[in-house]
Amino acid sequence: MLYRGFVNLVNRLPMPSLRLQIGVALAVLLSQAGIAVTGSIVRVTASGLGCPTWPQCFPGSFTPTPHTEVPGIHQAVEFGNRMLTFAVVLTAALIVIAVTRAGRRREVRFYAWLMPLSTVVQAVVGGLTVLAGLAWWTVAIHLLLSMGMVWLAVLLLEKVREPDDGHTIAVVPAPLRWLTAVSAAMMTVVLIAGTMVTGAGPHAGDKSIDKPVPRLKIEITTLVHFHAEMVVGYLALLIGLGFGLLAVGAPDTVRRRLYVVVGLVMGQGLIGVVQYLTDVPSVLVVAHVAGAGACVAATGALWVSMRPRMAIDDTTLDDTLAAAPGVRH
């Protein structure tokens, strides 16, 4: 009943063009990735408790207030990060409205609704992170959820671009799609290892002496080596995938997206090495988080390109399948 009322209300709005829908979906992706980057800025500037309560900034106030124990710059940085949440919420709401009004297929509407729902979950986790005093494991979960939302936002963008009246075709054999899934799983392990390095590293998010931030009590050098080894394993999987795609004559789109992923991973590796050799400067932490979001987005784009939805007739479909041995409709 509520959903029907929502649809009736939305149907009174002008019909959004496909270009507008794609633009809103892109804004969703940029806002999801952007808030992860601003979150890293909060961490490296030690502004994590610039607003020490949630959802209010200070008891009795939703906005920063003069406080002797909390510098104004820390309040501004943390409050600014919270304000970016409104952009995340706004874009999430707009994409739901746009695809509902356009009458898009169920799959598109499903991914669109995941955006506001996951944003609510992320907001709750963010609040718990503050209430837990920035304990390293809560910050890790917060970042990993952000990366998951970036992945979903990429899938949403690709699904919005696809025609509703088309055929879904696997353009590479199933074993290579599984290898891509395995590489994405390895990427997740790399991300988890990276949050552990951060949890034991010098950027705790707050420099309070009276109540120090709980840190991961593992030798950071051990964690760095583990993280690096996982990156090497991830890159090896991607290289193997590349040879497989060349062997089966995968479409140019798929191969180009793989090259982007490999380039981003190598760039991340370079940033990581420089970080290690230069005592983890703040600017490189922010760059590393931005790079992580880019790797997740590129891997998601690679995954969805292997089974696109195409607007082709039955004759063209038969020709396409015949030219792609080992794949299934």
- What is the rounded CA–CA span in Å between residue 93 and residue 99? 10
Instruction: Encode pLDDT of 164-180 as tens digits.
Output: 888 888 899 999 999 99
pLDDT at 220: 86
Is the Cα dihedral 290, 291, 293, 294 positive or negative? positive
Tell me the mean pLDDT in the region 229-252.
94
Among the listed residues 91, 96, 100, 92, the one whose alpha carbon sits nearest the alpha carbon of residue 11: 100
Instruction: Encode pLDDT of 250-292 as tens digits.
Output: 999 999 999 999 999 999 999 999 988 888 888 888 899 999 9
pLDDT at 185: 95
pLDDT at 53: 77
61 by DSSP, 3-state: which?
Answer: strand
pLDDT at 209: 46
Instruction: Encode pLDDT of 182-206 as tens digits.
Output: 999 999 999 999 999 988 877 665 5
If one compares 201 and 99, the residue with the highest pLDDT of the two is 99
If one compares 326 and 72, the residue with the highest pLDDT of the two is 72
- Rounded to the nearest 5 degrees, what angle is found at the Cα of 209, between the Cα atoms of 76 and 203? 60
Strands of 92-242, DSSP E: 167-168
Q: How far is CA 253 from CA 155, 245, 259, 308, in A?
A: 16, 11, 10, 11
Band (144; pLDDT cuts 50, 70, 90): very high
Residue 325 has pLDDT above 50, yes or no: no
Band (230; pLDDT cuts 50, 70, 90): very high
If one compares 166 and 28, the residue with the highest pLDDT of the two is 28
What letter would DSSP give residue 311?
A: -
Give me the residue spans of the domains in the chain.
1-164, 166-329
Q: Please answer whether residues 213 and 205 qualify as being in contact, where contact means their C-beta atoms are separated by less than 8 angstroms.
A: yes
pLDDT at 252: 92
Among the listed residues 182, 191, 180, 178, the one whose alpha carbon sits nearest the alpha carbon of residue 150: 191
Tell me the mean pLDDT in the region 10-19.
91
The residue count of the chain comes to: 329
